[in-house]
Structure 1
Amino acid sequence: MIWVLIAFAALIIVNVPIAFAIGASGLLFFILEPNLPTSLALQRFAEGTQSFPLLAVPFFVLAGNLLNETGITKRLINFANALTGHLVGGLAHISIVLSAMMGGISGSANADAAMQSRILAPQMMGRGYSGGFSTSVIAYSALITATIPPSIGLILYGFVGEVSIGQLFLAGIVPGVLMTIILMVTSTLIAKKRHYTPARVERASFKEVAATFKASFWGLLFPVILIVGIRFGVFTASEAGAFAVVYAFVVGAFIYKELDWKTLNKVLKNTVEDNAIIMLIIACASILGYVITSARLPQEASASLLALTESPLLITAIVLLFLLLAGMFMESTVNTLLLTPIFLPIMTNIGMDPVHFGILMMTIVTMGGMTPPIGVTMYTVCSLSNVPVTDYMKESLPFIGAVVVFIVLLVVFPQISLFLPEQLMR
């Protein structure tokens, strides 16, 4: 097993694409293990994507791309502006509130951050906001999409860990709202200190708020229908993805009337590319996942941690710190697929609810994308906004502190994430 880990680390260091690094290092285990035929690795690769729950991923990716290309984004921006534009540092609040609303549409932190970098970052810097602050707000507000349903990460966690995706969706709602509030408070404190101006001079009238809400109603209704449908058994999480595609098509083509053949072709092209990347990673990760299970790595990791300490709080801190470090070097999808089988048994053994751990895990591994040295979201927002990474790193520290406070609250008060699942699905 040690050679597999060395090979994986070496391939990552020389910038081999992550899917191939995972697949090649997993295949090495079968080559070195005489009792396992190499054909088994190919079988695991083929079987890795043959799962009904995984149907939710391509469906939700297609639905998100459809809604993002049919005018829903600009309508949500107008609604967020009406709600928070009058506050100090109003554009920062618009970014955060927009992420909370977009989380139920895009399901992807990187996609959300990229969109906002193109639209909001120039406006923020044009009003005198520093580049580092602007990109930090956009990057860390995208973290909200890690928990707000339909989070792609939660779907993958539920699939790998055999945890109810419906319960995970419900569990992510309150933490998502709490993170929104904490990030807004952080932005307000910074904006007041630097005298950043609001996005608008006066508070929006009730009539304007109502009008912008009406214009964005069909986008806001999307996650509500998903949650209600799953809760009352109208459809499973996978079937909800299929419904989401039909819903997005109807809204784009017949309600907003911004979905034409050219836009549809672009959406389908982007969806095929996005899903190809995700599914290739999943297929390769299934090889390494089999290796992890065969080598009894979860059991050994659990025994090692228990040998260090029997304190559930200390074990939780060690696991969360490891997830954060892993998130700094690998993309959240990869971490979810590889580390869930290792750490979920450990956390359930010390009494943590698997649904609660899913919210913690997805928040932390997604946060890794906002931090150096290999944060995909960090590089995305900086490159699209033409802001030096050093400026971003310096001004992201208050937001890192805010997220740490959020994680501590989740650990100390697990009912923040478990309240809705316990009330509605148990």
Structure 2
Amino acid sequence: MGAVVIGFLIMIFLGMPVAFAIGLSGTLFFFVTPDLPYAIVVQKVVSSTQSFTLLAIPLFIFAGNLMNNTGITEKLIKLANVLTGHMYGNLGQVSTVLSTLMGGVSGSANADAAMQCRVLGPSMNERGYKKGYSAAINGVTSLITATIPPSMGLIIYGSVGEVSIGRLFAAGIIPGLMMMVALMITVRYTARKKGYAPESLKKPTLKEIGAASIDSIWALMFPVILLVGIRLGILTPSESGAFAAVYAIFVGFFIYKKLNVKTFVKTVKDSIRDIGVIMILVSLSGIFGYGIVYDSIPQKMAEFLIGVTSNPLILLFIVILLLVFAGMFVETTVVALLLTPILLPVVTRVGIDPVQFGVIMMTIVTMGIMTPPVGIALYTTSNIMGCKPEETAKESVPFLIAIIAVVLVLILWKDLVLFLPNLLFGA
């Protein structure tokens, strides 16, 4: 397996697309391992996508794109603005609250970061916000979508690790809200220091909040319906994705009346592109994953790490350092696909709950989208805002510290993660 890893790193260094680097390096395993039939390569590409659970990914991507084109996002922005207009760094606060509300809509941190820069970026420039600061806020706050359901990362983790996606969805809510609070505090501190005054001098009235909430009720009800449907056994995670798409079409055509044939066709095209990128990663990682299992990498990794320490807390910190490093160099989906089958058996062997680990793992690896040298959202937000990635990375530091602080709390007090899953689905 060593030759495979070296081959993968060389191809990444040479600039090959990650999906093809994974597929080719995985195929290399069959050349260096005697007696393995090459037909398995093709079989694993196909079989990796033959999962009913994974069907949730394209369905939720389609639903998210539909909702972005049906006026739901616009309603959520108005609600976030009403809630935070009286705070320092008002537009930064809007970005934080919007990411929390959008978690149940987009499910993708990268998509959320790009959308918020396009929507909020011009207003931030007009209000005199530094471009790097604006890019940092819109990028880092998008990490909340890694936990608020329906998170694409949690679906992939649950599918690969055979962990209940319903429990993962429920487990992500409290950590997502904790990240929102931590980031709002950080925005207030940094904005006050930079002199970004509130847009409104008075707090919103209950009447104003109520009116904005009612206006956004169709978006706010979406994650609630999903969790209730899964909990009551009415919907599987994949069926909830299909429901989400139908729900978005219904709201777009009949409630907000902003979805027409032209917009629908554009949404389908955008969704096909987004789904293609993720599913080619999923299919080609099946080749790589076969080599991991064949060489007993999870068992060897478990023995090695437990040989270092059998203390669950220390072991979890070691694994998190590994994930931080991996997230800095490899895209989030790839990390989830490749490392979940390796690390999950290790942490469960020492008594760490797989649901708690899933929320922590996906938060940490998603953080990699805002860290150099391969932070996708770092470059995306910087490009949209028209600033250097170095400037964005520098402005991101206090916000990333806030995320890490939340992760530490989740490690030390696992009941914060497991309270809702145990309440809804039983201990």
Which band: TM-score by shorter chain? over 0.9
Unmatched tracts of structure 2, length 5 or more: none
Q: CA deviation at 1:206?
A: 2.9
Structure 2: distance between partners of 1:200 and 1:224 = 31
**Structure 2 counterpart of 1:34:** 34
CA contact (8 A) 2:356 2:417 kept: yes
* 2:372 matches 1:369: no
Matches for 1:23-102 after TM superposition, within 5 Å: 23-102=23-102
Matches for 1:325-404 after TM superposition, within 5 Å: 325-404=325-404
Deviations 1:4-56 (A, max 9, x none): 01100001111111110000000010122121011111101111100110111
Matches for 1:112-191 after TM superposition, within 5 Å: 112-191=112-191
**Structure 1 counterpart of 2:217:** 217
* AA of the residue aligned to 1:93: Q
**Seq. identity, %:** 50
Structure 1: distance between partners of 2:294 and 2:384 = 43
**Structure 1 counterpart of 2:104:** 104
Structure 1: distance between partners of 2:88 and 2:100 = 19
Structure 1: distance between partners of 2:309 and 2:205 = 57
Q: CA deviation at 1:205?
A: 3.2
Range with greater deviation from structure 2 (295-304 or 360-369): 295-304
Unmatched tracts of structure 1, length 5 or more: none
Q: CA deviation at 1:203?
A: 2.7
* 2:250 matches 1:264: no
Q: Secondary structure at the match of 2:423?
A: helix
**Structure 2 counterpart of 1:14:** 14
Deviations 1:331-371 (A, max 9, x none): 11110000000000010011100000000000000001110
Structure 2: distance between partners of 1:272 and 1:191 = 39
User: How many pairs are equivalent?
Assistant: 426
* AA of the residue aligned to 1:289: G
Structure 1: distance between partners of 2:199 and 2:35 = 66
Structure 2: distance between partners of 1:373 and 1:336 = 19
CA contact (8 A) 1:127 1:197 kept: no
Q: CA RMSD in A?
A: 0.9
Structure 2: distance between partners of 1:226 and 1:277 = 25
Structure 2: distance between partners of 1:195 and 1:383 = 25
* AA of the residue aligned to 2:333: T
Structure 2: distance between partners of 1:193 and 1:279 = 44
Q: CA deviation at 1:224?
A: 0.8
CA contact (8 A) 1:58 1:275 kept: yes
Range with greater deviation from structure 2 (338-347 or 122-131): 122-131
* AA of the residue aligned to 1:212: A
* AA of the residue aligned to 1:324: V
Structure 2: distance between partners of 1:200 and 1:135 = 23
- Which segments of structure 1 move beyond 3 Å, counting only runs of 4 or more? none
Q: Secondary structure at the match of 2:192?
A: helix
Structure 2: distance between partners of 1:203 and 1:421 = 34
Deviations 1:228-248 (A, max 9, x none): 111111111111011111100
CA contact (8 A) 2:86 2:199 kept: yes
CA contact (8 A) 1:81 1:199 kept: no
Q: CA deviation at 1:202?
A: 3.1
Structure 1: distance between partners of 2:292 and 2:178 = 35
